[in-house]
Amino acid sequence: MRRIPRTVGAALKREGYRRLANVVKRRRPQPLLNLDDVGRRLHIFEQSYVGIRPIRVDAIVGTLGREGDFDRDFVPMRSQVEQRWRRVDEAFPEGDFPPITVYELDGRYFVVDGHHRVAVARRRGIEYIDAEITRLRTRWPLPEGADLGRIIMVEQQRVFMDESGLERARPEVRIEFSRPQGYIELLEQIKVHGFHLMQERQRVLPMGEIAGDWYDNVYLPTVRAIKRDGLWELFPNATKADLYLWVSERRRELFPELGGMDIDQAVRAARDSTPVPRPRAAAKRTAAKRDRGGD
Domain borders along the chain are: 6-138, 148-292
pLDDT band at 207 (very low <50, low <70, confident <90, very high): very high
Cα torsion 94, 98, 100, 101 to 10°: value is 170
Q: How far apart are CA 257 and CA 290, in angstroms?
A: 37
Quote the pLDDT of residue 169.
94
pLDDT of 277 above 70: no
Is pLDDT larger for residue 119 or for residue 281? 119
Q: How far apart are CA 23 and CA 17, in angstroms?
A: 10
First to last CA, the chain: 60
Mean pLDDT of 202-208: 94
* Beta-strand relationship, 108-113 and 60-63: parallel
Q: How far apart are CA 105 and CA 163, in angstroms?
A: 25
Mean pLDDT of 97-109: 93
Specify whether the CB–CB gap between 40 and 138 falls below 8 A. no
Q: How far apart are CA 251 and CA 262, in angstroms?
A: 9
Quote the pLDDT of residue 224.
92
Is pLDDT larger for residue 195 or for residue 67? 195
Length of the chain: 295
